[in-house]
Amino acid sequence: MLPKGDDPVYAKWSRPLTRCWLFAGVGAADLNIMLQCLNPVVKEYKKDECVTVAGETFSGVGVVLNGTVLVTKEDVAGRRVVLSVLGEGDLFGEMVAFSQEKNWPATVIAQQVCTVMFLPPEKIIGSCPHQCASHRLLIHNMLRIVSDKALRLNKQVMYLAMKSIREKVATLLLEEYRRAGTATFMLPLKRHELADFLNVARPSLSRELGRMKAEGIIDFHRSTVKILNLEKLKQMVE
């Protein structure tokens, strides 16, 4: 069980928990009471260690307390596809938490040393023994999170439907440009992870990035990208 709010161990996780959308609108004092009701389990993982394995028994909605994790899936050929990269305060497992499916649908891998909190779904939507007013916000927040996740999955399908590597790369770069609000930004994935996310071979991805650099469309160094010709990049996805 999580320590009480005045315990320094609990204070260690106050930032990621207050950043988590599941607890949006919940005050610090109410969060303390709520967590005692939820009775979560906190686990630590080493780099590249599996947090969950697809097909294994579902163990609760996960909240990343520190570090980053990769949500992955294998296609019929056994190739790994990265569905998303999650960091501090992000959730995973919410899509299966209230379904009839009782097994993890995807494998979650620690991208670095990380800590994860698991919340039992039945307590998220169940009645609160302490009658805390903020507990009802969990249902509202969870519905919003699941809806947003469904929209993001539609986006993943969009990438998979694109036939050319250039269109996939250009679309991703434009999305990161809009998110960052600047022409120079850091990619959220390493090169091999980016290739998995776009469902392309890493050598093919590297060649395409090299071509775009040679054409003066972008410049890059490791994970840092600078868009040099925004209009030409936009033309690639039209």
Q: What is the pLDDT of residues 120-135, one digit of tens each?
A: 988 887 766 655 667 7
Q: Is residue 22 part of a domain?
A: yes
Domain match, 76 and 103 both = yes
Q: Is residue 27 part of a domain?
A: yes
What is the DSSP pairing of strand 80-86 with strand 61-66?
unpaired
Domain match, 73 and 93 both = yes
Q: How many domains does the chain have?
A: 2
CA distances from 9 to 2, 15, 99 (A): 8, 12, 33
- DSSP classification of residue 113: S
The reported pLDDT for the residue numbered 27 is 80
Which of 130, 155, 180 marks a domain boundary? 155
Domain match, 225 and 167 both = yes
Which of 155, 182, 202 marks a domain boundary? 155
Domain match, 195 and 133 both = no
Domain match, 46 and 114 both = yes
Phi, psi (rounded to 5 degrees) for 69: -130, 155
Any idea which of 69-83, 118-132, 163-177, 224-238 has the lowest mean pLDDT? 118-132
Q: Give mean pLDDT, residues 26-49.
A: 86
Which of 107, 123, 155 marks a domain boundary? 155
pLDDT beyond 70 at 9: no
Question: Could you report how far apart the first and last alpha carbons of the chain are, in Å?
Answer: 52
- Host domain of residue 30: 8-155
The reported pLDDT for the residue numbered 4 is 43
- Which residue did the predictor score with more confidence, 83 or 118? 118
Domain match, 25 and 118 both = yes
CA distances from 231 to 131, 166, 196, 227 (A): 56, 15, 27, 10
For residue 61, list its beta bridge partners: 119
d(CA 94, CA 83): 14
Q: Is residue 3 part of a domain?
A: no
Domain match, 102 and 196 both = no
pLDDT beyond 90 at 19: no
CATH code assigned at 108: 2.60.120.10
pLDDT tens-digit profile of 197-232? 888 889 999 999 999 999 999 999 988 999 999 999
Domain match, 192 and 132 both = no
Q: Is residue 1 part of a domain?
A: no
Domain match, 196 and 109 both = no
pLDDT beyond 60 at 8: no
The reported pLDDT for the residue numbered 222 is 86
Asked whether the beta carbons of 109 and 72 are under 8 A apart, the reply is yes
Question: Residues of 124-149 as b/e, b for ≥16 C-beta within 10 angstroms?
Answer: beeebeeebebbebbeebbeebeeee
Domain match, 55 and 113 both = yes
pTM of the model: 0.66
Domain match, 41 and 150 both = yes
Q: Is residue 137 part of a domain?
A: yes
DSSP string, 18-56: HHSGGGTT--HHHHHHHHHHH--EEEEE-TT-EEE-TTS
Domain match, 149 and 63 both = yes
